[in-house]
Structure 1
């Protein structure tokens, strides 16, 4: 078994707030992340796949293919967007980094399986100090 990781970057805005809570309650729980005028992050996305090396190619997967899958299905849909308003796969979800990582997993997992590998993890850095890792 071998693991390989592709890193991509995107910028996105969001607000952490529950619609069923008051502004005061959202502020108490989410602090400045509940800013009614939004805020943004420069996200770093790490997609790790695992499997066996193809003896003909010497690859687990072609990284150009993995880059294309990630960009077409995730990055192009969220880069320079508002996660709360513009991103269909985040509709009706709290736009936390945790929920975003799970949504990205759900999009990429079947596509990577079709390509002959297994999705191992999604690691999503919201800041240089905060990240989420999701293993399915």
Structure 2
């Protein structure tokens, strides 16, 4: 089994909050991340797929195709956007890095697995010190 990872970057704004909570409740749980005027991150996304090397091409997956899938179904939707307001697959969800990673995984999985490989993980760096990694359920 071979694993291959593609990295992409995007910039996006978001805030962590629950509409049904008061400003004080949101601040108590989410701190500065609940700023009513949003805040942003320079995210790094790592998408890892796994499969067997095709003896004809020497590839697990053509990296041009993997890039196209990531760009089409994730980066084009999130880059320079407000995750809470602009991103279709995040509507009605808390815009935490954890939830975002799960939803990115869900966006990519069917398109990647159409190439007869498995989506192994999505790793999303929110800052240089904080990241999450999701392997599916």
The structural deviation recorded for 1:20 is 1.1
TM-score normalised by structure 2 residue count = 0.98
Instruction: Structure 2: state its 5+ residue gaps.
Output: none
**How far 1:116 sits from its partner (Å)?**
1.4
Counterpart check, 1:42 vs 2:47: no
Aligned length in residues: 136
Unmatched segments (≥5 aa) in structure 1: none
Report the Cα offset of residue 18 of structure 1: 0.6
2:27 is equivalent to residue 31 of structure 1: no
1:57-96 to structure 2, matched below 5 A, reads 57-96=57-96
TM superposition shift of 1:61: 0.3
SS in 2 for 1:21: coil
CA distance in 2, matches of 1:92, 1:28: 21
Q: CA deviation at 1:88?
A: 0.7
Give SS of 2:19's match. coil
- What whole-Å deviation, never above 9, does each CA across 1:52-93 have from its counterpart, x for those lacking one? 000000000000110000001100000000000001100000
Tell me the C-alpha RMSD between the 2 structures: 0.4
- TM-score normalized with structure 1 length: 0.99
